[in-house]
Chains A and B, each alone.
Chain A
Amino acid sequence: MELEKAILATITTNSNKVTAGASIFICENKEEMDKVAANLEAILDGISHALSDELYIIVKH
C-alpha cells in the first residue's frame, strides 16, 4: 500500500506537545517557528499546516 500523505516534519515551540514521530524542530518563539516552517516547506515541497499556535506540521500531499 502506498501512503498518500505523510507528516515530514513537526515544528513546535512547546516540546511537551510532541515526543516522537517525524523529525521534530523545537523553536524558541513564534517568529523562529514561522521561519523554520517556511524553509522546511520550501525544502520538502510540502504544505505547513497549523494544528495550534505552537504546533506546525509539514505534510506531503
Chain B
Amino acid sequence: MNEYTYPILFGITIGTIARFIMLKTDYRQYPTYLHGKIIHLALGFIAASLGAVAVPALMEKEFTAVTFLTIAASQFREVRNMERETLTEMDSYELVPRGNTYIEGIAIAFESRNYLVIFTSLLGTLAYLVWNIYVAIVVSVLCYLIIRKYMSGSTLGEIVDIEHAPVTFDGAGLYVDNIYIMNIGLPERQEEILKYGMGFVIKPKTFDVRSSIANLGQRQAILHDISVSLGVFRDSGTPALVPLIKRDLDDGRIGVFILPQNKDLNQAIKVLQSVPVLENAVRMPSEANTQSKE
C-alpha cells in the first residue's frame, strides 16, 4: 500500500464501470451474450488499468511509462480487427446482411470506446491525486455525461423525412412510389409482394444528406436494421423476396422496399428514424471550398 493505491483502484473501477455502461445490448444484438460481454469487460479493465497507472508513473518521473500507451493503442486496434473479422464472418449467414460499412462502424465504436475508458480512468486518477476523492467523483460523473452524449451518433430521423408509399406493379416492374425497384416475372410472386411488401420513400432534408443516403453501405444498414426489428419474409433460395433500396436519380430520394413479418406502419417508421447514420457514409459537399457559402 502506498499513496497511489487508492487513486489507481479508483481509476480502474471508474474506467471499468464506464466500459460497462457503454456495453449495452440493444436490438442489434451485439455483443450478444455473456461471453461476448466478458471479452469486452476484460479489455475495458485493461484499458482502465493503463489509464489509471499512467498518472502516478508520470508523477514519479517515469516518463518511459507513456510508451505503454502505444502498446495499448495497438492492442485496441487488434480489438477492431477482431470485431470486424467476427462480424464479416457471421454476415454471410444473415438473411439480410449488415454490409461492410455497418460492420466497420461497429468495429470503430469498439475501438474508440476503449480509448474513452482510458481517458476516463486517467482523468479520474489525476483528479484524485491532485485534489481529492470528491473532485475525482465529480470529474468521473462529468466524463460519464460526455460519454453518454457522444456515444451515439445521429440517427436517420434527424436528416431525412420518411413517408409511407404504396408498392405497385407496372407490368413486371415493381415500384415504390415512382421509384423503380426490380423486375418480378411470376404473377404468384407479385401477389406475395403486394400482400407482404411495404414501401417507404426517404427524402433528404439537405443537399449533403443526398450523398449520405445514396451510400450503398448506409442503404444496406437501413435494410438490415428494419429486417431485424420487424422480421423478414424470406428464406435462403428466394432472391425474389429480398428487400431492396433504390434511388431516384432526379432528386436523390430513396425508395425502400421491405417484406416485414410485422406490418406495423408506425413501428416501421420509428425503426427507420432510429437507424444510425454511419460515419463512413457521411458526406459534406457543402463544406468544400468550391461551393458558394449561403
Contact = CB atoms under 8 A, between A and B. Distances in A.
Interface string A19-54: 000000000000000100110011001111110000
Can you list the 7 inter-chain pairs with the closest CB atoms, starting with the nearest?
A50-B185, A50-B172, A48-B185, A49-B183, A47-B240, A45-B237, A56-B185
B240 A34 contact: no
A34 B239 contact: no
B187 interface: yes
B232 to A, nearest CB: 17
Given A34-B187, A49-B185, 17 more contacts: A34-B186, A37-B186, A38-B186, A38-B188, A38-B189, A41-B189, A45-B236, A47-B183, A47-B185, A48-B184, A48-B185, A48-B189, A49-B172, A50-B184, A50-B185, A56-B185, A57-B185
B171 interface: yes
B237 A42 contact: yes
Nearest to B240: A47
A49 B184 contact: yes
B237 A47 contact: no
Contacts of B240: 41, 47-48
Given A41-B240, A42-B237, A61-B239, A47 B184 contact: yes
Interface of B: 171-172, 182-189, 236-237, 239-240
B187 to A, nearest CB: 6
A34 B188 contact: yes
Q: How large is the interface on A (under 10, 10 to 19, 20 to 34, 35 or more residues)?
A: 10 to 19
B239 A48 contact: no
B171, B182, B183, B186 interface centre (most CB from chain A within 10 Å): B186
A48 B183 CA distance: 8
Given A34-B188, A38-B188, A50 B239 contact: no
B191 to A, nearest CB: 11
Nearest to B188: A38
B171 A50 contact: yes
Contacts of A50: 171-172, 183-185
